[in-house]
């Protein structure tokens, strides 16, 4: 069996239709979150192998690979 480690975690704020976050793209919002995780964790970026991201709704414009786009938005390497 492979071993998995949860090193750190954060979450985005809740939003509502037409609310203050309605103009923010989900990948940009999560990209900021991932960048903050890397910044505060002290874990070297080179040590990252995987990121697991949950999303409750991917519809319309947002039905793309949110996790991948957020990783790239956060400046993480394409190897993660």
Angle between helices 26-41 and 66-73 (to 10 degrees): 60
Q: What dihedral angle (degrees, nearest 10) is formed by the CA atoms of 38, 48, 9, 5?
A: -150
3-45 residue pLDDT tens: 777 677 788 888 888 899 888 888 888 899 989 988 888 888 8
Query: pLDDT tier at 78 (50, 70, 90 boundaries)?
Result: confident
What is residue 61's predicted lDDT score, i.e. its pLDDT? Answer: 62
Residue 46 has pLDDT above 70, yes or no: yes
Listed by start position, the domains of the chain span 26-73
Residue 67 has pLDDT above 80, yes or no: yes
Q: At which residue do the structure tokens 């505060």 appear?
A: 40
Helix H or strand E segment including 32 = helix 26-41
Query: pLDDT tier at 1 (50, 70, 90 boundaries)?
Result: low
């Amino acid at each position: 069996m492979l071993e998995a480690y949860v090193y750190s975690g954060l979450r985005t704020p809740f939003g509502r239709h037409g609310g203050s976050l309605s103009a923010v793209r989900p990948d940009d919002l999560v990209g900021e979150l991932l960048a903050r995780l890397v910044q505060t964790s002290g874990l070297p970026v080179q040590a990252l192998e995987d990121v697991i991201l949950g999303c409750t709704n991917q519809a319309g414009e947002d039905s793309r690979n949110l996790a991948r786009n957020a990783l790239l938005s956060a400046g993480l390497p394409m190897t993660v």
